[in-house]
Amino acid sequence: MAVTSLRSGRRLLLDSATKALFQLLTWVCIAIFVGLALVLTQQSLPVLAENNVADILFSGTWDPEAGQFGFLPAIVGTLITMSVSMILVVPIAVLASVYIAEYARGSIRTLLSSSVDILAAVPSVIFGLFGLLIVAPLVDEVIAPLFGAGSTGLGLLTASLVIAVMTLPIIMSLSVESLVALPDSLRETVLSLGETRSGMAIRILLRAAGPGILSAILLGLGRAFEASIAVAMVIGGKNLIPDSLFDAGQTLPTLIVNTFGEMMSLPETRSALLFAALVLFVVVTAFNLLASFARNRLERHWRYQ
Amino acid sequence: MNRRYVEQYLIETLIRLSAVLVVGVLVLIIGMTLYKGGQVLINQPSVAFTAPGPLYLLGGSGGFLHAILGSFAIVLPATVIATVLAIASGLYLQSDYCSERFARAVNVLLYVLWGTPAIVYGVFVLTLLIMLESRSSLIAATFAVSLLQFPIIARFVDEALKSVSADLKETVYALGTTRFETLRLLLRAALPGVVAGVIMGFARGLGDGAAVLFTAGGGIEMPSGLNDPATTLPILIFQQASSAYPSVREDAYAAAFVLMMLVLVLVAFSKFIARRFSRFAQEDH
């Protein structure tokens, strides 16, 4: 450091200058995001003024020309795809996490955890292609005939399978993290009481890491809720309440993606879609905050052991 | 005793099967992309290097160089903006510039933003454009992508700064430095984590389609100016995959190959940096 810069006046000036700069930039970020919430709310007011919230959420008619914006098909589609994908993915993700955390050693463990990291980084549009090329024919030619249902391959089941694959890495990485964080003394105690290794994993460790795994599942739910482009590629995009899992449907994000064309020209539709985005934002945020709450509880629980 | 052996055997089989299934899915996805895309690219390597003809998406001649260039033209500046904001706010929140209560509140906000769906950012920027009576363009997409990247990079920066030993900070302060001089040292110690985070943010920006879908304007020409419509690889793949023309659908796999390779290289690079330099970061318990 040059001698001149050791004079404290200049150093203090630099200190306050950088403070002001960082403070400004931090507040810019805060302002942008407060703006986001305000704009979404303010822009969805017109449609809320014309229709009441219950009408929008529980009506099945989507007819922009008549001013009717029923989200029900999209909401039903979202709930179905979310629950089906979670039923499929949670047991597999949790068991595979147990394998990584408790069984795998050395290079196998590195291989598995890098697989999860890579899966997390795969762009969502590639999951969509995967759905079109592999899952859709599978549903069309194998699963649908098994249930004796007609299918085009594009529909809620295909979408659920794609969502299941997309949520796999996020659920797994957090589950592994919370299993690994459990103290070894717990494992030693349980084994010394005569429990088998697998019994320990299933009966004791999963329960001890419960809040962490719950938080992983909640984050996975958030991810399932927001999946837009990949799901839009495989769900078929019909604004009808589906009769079966093989029917084409709609979710809230695909409603936004698929009605994109109308969005620019009709202010009413735009307002309705922004309300959909607001609902999406609020629900995903709720999931994430719940997940963070569950994680904090887990950390606090094991910190003082 | 026998029952417990059977139970152990069953549970372990299930656990192993699940792990195999996970690896299988990954191999299937990457293998599919590389195999199908590789086939198209080997037959016709020019699609990745030529500009699109006017009817490219309708089965016309040309390639998707515009989307590759568009991806970089949108995501590179976006990453720079997001990185500057993320480092500034990260340093501000962790370097004794502000109260702990404020830092905690902003961290909750950052956490919420980290989980905000990309499509919400896209819709938000589009709404701003409509309010400003402007239209979708390269610069609007850059703004949307940087909104998406900022919380991701901020999170990595935060973790990297946290992993710097508290002793270092106290030692440096004890030498009589100002906050700015201290944080320069903190940042240097945290640099590998920060760089790894920036690369991951870049990869996420490249791979995301939802934030740019509404804001880039889906241009079908080479990107020419800041206010002109542009397109990125994910949007292009989305459009190609739903095309009625088989040749265009085939090209989607070629574009996916390029995107996948870019993302894989970036992730590997980020892991390499994080691991290569992790010996410089002290554990702090």
Grouping H, G, I as helix, E, B as strand and the rest as coil, residue B230 is strand
User: Is the pLDDT confidence value at B174 over 70?
Assistant: yes
Residues B15-23 have a mean pLDDT of 90
pLDDT tens-digit readout, B249-280: 888 888 889 899 999 898 888 888 877 766 55
8 A C-beta contact, residue A121 and residue B267? yes
Q: Which residues pair with A69 in a beta bridge?
A: A62
Q: Which residues pair with A62 in a beta bridge?
A: A69
User: Domain ranges in chain A?
Assistant: 74-253+278-303
Chain B residue closest in CA terms to A196: B8
8 A C-beta contact, residue B184 and residue B95? no
User: Is the pLDDT confidence value at B80 over 90?
Assistant: yes
A222 touches chain B (CB under 8 A): yes
Q: For testing the chain A interface, which of B34, B124, B134 should be mutated: the one with the most A CBs within 10 Å?
A: B124
- Which residues in chain A have their CB less than 8 angstroms from residue B7's CB? 196, 198-199
Q: How far apart are CA A72 and CA A87, in angstroms?
A: 22
Q: What is the pLDDT of residue B1?
A: 61
pLDDT tens-digit readout, B21-61: 989 999 999 988 888 888 888 887 777 777 776 667 776 67
- Which residues in chain A have their CB less than 8 angstroms from residue B4's CB? 196, 199
- What rounded mean pLDDT belongs to chain B? 83
Which among A125, A134, A280 has the least Cβ separation from residue B238?
A125
The confidence band for B282, taking pLDDT boundaries of 50, 70 and 90, is very low
User: Domain ranges in chain B?
Assistant: 2-43, 46-280
Chain B residue closest in CA terms to A41: B124
Q: What is the pLDDT of residue B279?
A: 57
pLDDT tens-digit readout, A162-177: 999 999 998 998 888 8
- Token pair in block for residue A251: 């979710």
CB contact under 8 A, B178 and A15: yes
Question: What does A45-84 look like in DSSP terms, one character per residue?
Answer: HHHHHHS-HHHHHH---EEGGGTEE--HHHHHHHHHHHHH
Higher pLDDT, A151 or A192: A192
Distance from the Cα of B117 to chain A's closest Cα (Å) equals 6
- What rounded mean pLDDT belongs to chain A? 81
User: Is the pLDDT confidence value at A193 over 80?
Assistant: yes
Q: What is the largest CA-CA distance in chain A?
A: 84
A36 touches chain B (CB under 8 A): yes
- Which residues in chain B have their CB less than 8 angstroms from residue A18's CB? 179-180
The confidence band for B242, taking pLDDT boundaries of 50, 70 and 90, is confident
pLDDT tens-digit readout, A208-246: 888 888 888 988 888 888 888 888 888 877 777 777 777
User: Is the pLDDT confidence value at B95 over 50?
Assistant: yes
Residues A91-108 have a mean pLDDT of 88
CB proximity under 8 Å: A 225-244 to B? 225-226, 228-229, 232-233
The confidence band for B285, taking pLDDT boundaries of 50, 70 and 90, is very low
A86 touches chain B (CB under 8 A): no
Q: How far apart are CA B285 and CA B279, in angstroms?
A: 16
Name the percent of chain A lying above pLDDT 90. Answer: 8
B147 touches chain A (CB under 8 A): yes
User: Is the pLDDT confidence value at A2 over 70?
Assistant: no
User: Is the pLDDT confidence value at A281 over 60?
Assistant: yes
Length of chain B in terms of residues written: 285
Q: What is the pLDDT of residue B284?
A: 41
CB contact under 8 A, A123 and B33: no
What is the value of ipTM here, to two decimals? 0.86
Q: What is the pLDDT of residue A233?
A: 85
B222 touches chain A (CB under 8 A): no
A214 touches chain B (CB under 8 A): no
A95 touches chain B (CB under 8 A): yes
Span of A78-87, A98-107, A215-224, A237-246 with lowest mean pLDDT: A237-246
User: Is the pLDDT confidence value at B226 over 50?
Assistant: yes
**Alpha helices by DSSP H, chain B:** 2-43, 65-94, 100-115, 118-131, 138-163, 166-174, 179-207, 210-213, 233-241, 246-276
CB contact under 8 A, A126 and B204: no
Which among A12, A33, A111 has the least Cβ separation from residue B113?
A33
- Which residues in chain B have their CB less than 8 angstroms from residue A116's CB? 22
CB contact under 8 A, B237 and A129: yes
User: Is the pLDDT confidence value at A128 over 80?
Assistant: yes
Residues B198-221 have a mean pLDDT of 84
Q: What is the pLDDT of residue A1?
A: 47
Q: For testing the chain A interface, which of B11, B85, B145, B263 should be mutated: the one with the most A CBs within 10 Å?
A: B11
Chain A residue closest in CA terms to B205: A123
CATH code of A74-253+278-303, in short, is 1.10.3720.10
CB contact under 8 A, B118 and A114: no
The confidence band for B83, taking pLDDT boundaries of 50, 70 and 90, is very high
User: Is the pLDDT confidence value at A97 over 60?
Assistant: yes
> What is the CATH topology of the domain spanning B46-280?
MetI-like fold (1.10.3720)
CB contact under 8 A, B112 and A22: no
User: Is the pLDDT confidence value at B118 over 80?
Assistant: yes
pLDDT tens-digit readout, A236-276: 777 777 777 777 778 888 888 888 766 666 777 778 888 88
CB proximity under 8 Å: A 241-260 to B? 253, 256-257, 260
Q: How far apart are CA B44 and CA B37, in angstroms?
A: 10
Higher pLDDT, B138 or A268: B138
Residues B180-198 have a mean pLDDT of 85
CB proximity under 8 Å: A 103-162 to B? 103-104, 111-112, 114-119, 121-130, 132-134
Q: Is the dihedral of CA B152, B158, B164, B165 positive or negative?
A: negative
The confidence band for A302, taking pLDDT boundaries of 50, 70 and 90, is low
Residues A41-54 have a mean pLDDT of 77
Name the percent of chain B lying above pLDDT 90. Answer: 7
